[in-house]
Structure 1
Amino acid sequence: MSELPRVDPTRDLSAPARAYAAVLRTPPGRWIAINVAARVDPALMRATKGRVGMGLMLPSALLTTIGAKSGQERTSTVLYFHDGEDVILVASSFGREKHPAWFHNLKANPLVRIARDGGGAPRTAEEVVDPAELDRLWALADRIYPPYADYRRRTAAVGRRIPIVRLRPA
């Protein structure tokens, strides 16, 4: 099983990571993230054993869920960070109107795996619902990926709340 590199959300983003996140905040950057990176990344990360992905210097990994309808394994690229031993995910879907498919999958079957190369030890997913905990985790998430603030504004405008998910060791 592969290790998931630890991501400390209290550390400042590097200058290149901040610059890359700024590009992703632009309409062309967002379009590329939605229409190219989201489709290419799982295969690219698997082929390179997690060393190369379109997330570049952002903390990205492959999340493996079981399809809510199909029952088949599904793999998606996600940004993540650690909170103690837990892994935190933000179901932003780039600020679109609907939750990402991986979120629906883990709600139906909360046993997941996450790793840079698509493996990983089993973890149990649970949506964070406590308002104070959500505020704390949003503050950390915004440090990892500043465009999350833009995504919250976009989804609020269409009545969607972006979920935060905690992955605990199974």
Structure 2
Amino acid sequence: MNNPLASLARALGTRPWLMKTAPAVIWADKKLHRFTKGRVSLVAIAGLPSLRLTTIGRKSGLARSSNLLFYPHGEEFVLTGSNWGRPSDPAWTYNLRAHPEARIFLRGKEIPVVARPVEGEEYAEVWRLLLAFWPGYEMERAEAGRELPLFVLSRTTR
């Protein structure tokens, strides 16, 4: 049975005021992740797919983690660098470009992945799928005034 909160979350995700809640949502999600040892996130409670991405900082070389909504695409994971409609790409996108090998934590399980940016003709197709999945991305793109970077993460065997 589908979580009825997913439809509500998708509807709320198209409301401009939601972007203003980003600091509080990110703070609460980090606390929830820490409290539940990675088993629960706010996005997951809403019935949407979420993961914790751990990248290597492009400048610091240190591990950096972010809880993110993802689009499940077959065996792969699609991430959107919306940054809640802010004008700059989120830090994790720069880290993935510099160091495409990363780890995701999905329902408490660690999975090694390699990222590749989505570009060209593939971008248009993936963007169409993403908008059907999370319509709010169009609002976030317009607010940000930039093309939102997309990444496909594939499992590795390292």
RMSD of aligned Cα (Å) = 2.1
Question: What's the offset of the Cα at 1:119?
Answer: 5.0
Does 2:121 align with 1:135?
Answer: no
**Identical positions, percent:** 35
Amino acid at match of 1:163: P
Does 2:152 align with 1:166?
Answer: yes
CA deviation digits over 1:90-149, x for unaligned, max 9? 111112100001111111111111123565221111101122x11211122122211011
Find the aligned partners of 1:117 and 1:66 in 2 and give their Cα distance: 21
Q: Is the 8 A contact 2:13 2:135 kept in 1?
A: no
The change in CA–CA distance for 1:119 and 1:46 in structure 2 (over 3 A counts) is farther
Equivalent positions of 1:7-156 (< 5 A) are: 15-32=4-21, 34-55=22-43, 56-116=46-106, 120-131=110-121, 133-155=122-144
The change in CA–CA distance for 1:144 and 1:48 in structure 2 (over 3 A counts) is farther
TM-score norm. by structure 2 comes to 0.85
Find the aligned partners of 1:85 and 1:144 in 2 and give their Cα distance: 16
The change in CA–CA distance for 1:118 and 1:76 in structure 2 (over 3 A counts) is farther
The change in CA–CA distance for 1:154 and 1:22 in structure 2 (over 3 A counts) is same
Find the aligned partners of 2:85 and 2:17 in 1 and give their Cα distance: 15
TM-score norm. by structure 1 comes to 0.79
Mark the runs of 5 or more structure 1 residues left unpaired by the alignment: 1-12
